[in-house]
Amino acid sequence: MTLISPRLLSLGTAVPPHRITQDQVLSILAQAKGHALPARMADILGNTGIDQRHIAMPPEYYFAPRSWAGRAAVYADAAAVLFEAAAAQALDRAAINAADIGQIVFVSTTGTMTPSLPSRMIAKMGFAPDTRCVPLFGYGCAGGVIGLGVAADLFRANPDKPVLLVSLELCSLAYDHARMDKKDMVALALFADGCAAAVVGAGPGPVLSAFASHVWPDTLDMMGWEIGDTGFDLVLARDIPVFVNSHFAPVCDAFLARQGLEKAEMAEPACHPGGGRVVDALADYLGDDLAMTRSVLRAHGNMSSPTVLFVLDALLTAGPITKPTLLTALGPGFVGAMGIITP
């Protein structure tokens, strides 16, 4: 039997309506704290590499008392809007209908629903009743790359119909801002909301060639969240940029070697940016300034899992892929996710 290579037929993106600049964050935080912030907070915001972000709700919402039930209701409403917008754009760009999709992979770690969000969108968007829904939870920032790899694997196994990937995070809704401690202010400085969708199937488009992930032992405290009273409490280590060159670099080198590739012969990578210092570390390792990764970070902030797909969409919009392209992301676990797309 001839195997059909999974190809990336299209991408779609969507962000919520509320735009906030980093300059506005300082005044909003000062108002919430009731006093001016220390100068180091301005430095933290200035060093993120972010100019603006989009969030699901107006700023005042985040500092009012919230319950888990209320938070879940807002997630459900906002997520459905973004899911439909990004998925519809990806389907339109691929020139296919929702009913043509065989499976939906859904990535999200900042909220959860049962039935899952894609199950709820079946009738609304016109997917076939027998569409298989595959929710992936817990991968955080690594979820976009991992989800694309899962979508490629599912298409290889069932190539009769295309697979739709939707990666959606509402980071602004996830965290509990009641205490306003240092970790919470870092979350407010970095994270944003967004959604990306991808259609994987047979047809014109770059080949999703290879994907891999690597989990390092004794690194559970580097990234993730813990359950708080009304939201998630951020777990985020300060040494992730150092980790890029000390631990991620040799793993990624080995992945590239298995594909017979060298960094110098590849196109500009699509990386999950994390933050300004993480991008600098990745640029140092990859030998590329990562201009498109930095551009997406400036305009959208860290949206967690969909961010790398925003970068890939920007790269593809600039022109077709003519060389192998590396995708990277780091997430809770602590996990490194890698992918290769070829012309």
**62 Cβ partners below 8 Å, 6+ apart?**
55, 172, 177
Q: Is 178 helix (H, G, I), strand (E, B) or coil?
A: coil
Q: Catalytic residue, from 133, 141, 171, 271: name it.
A: 141
The DSSP output letter for 236 is: E
* Tally of CB atoms within 10 A around 337: 27
**212 Cβ partners below 8 Å, 6+ apart?**
149, 255, 258, 337, 338, 339
Query: What is the DSSP pairing of strand 325-331 with strand 335-342?
Result: antiparallel
Q: Catalytic: 141?
A: yes
Distance separating alpha carbons of residues 54 and 71, to the nearest angstrom: 18
Q: Kindly report the backbone phi and psi dihedral angles of residue 312, in degrees, each rounded to the nearest multiple of 5, phi listed first.
A: -60, -40
Helices (H), 22-66: 22-33, 39-46
Q: Are 215 and 335 in contact (CB under 8 A)?
A: yes
Give the H/E segment covering residue 13.
strand 7-14
Q: So which residues are the catalytic ones?
A: 141
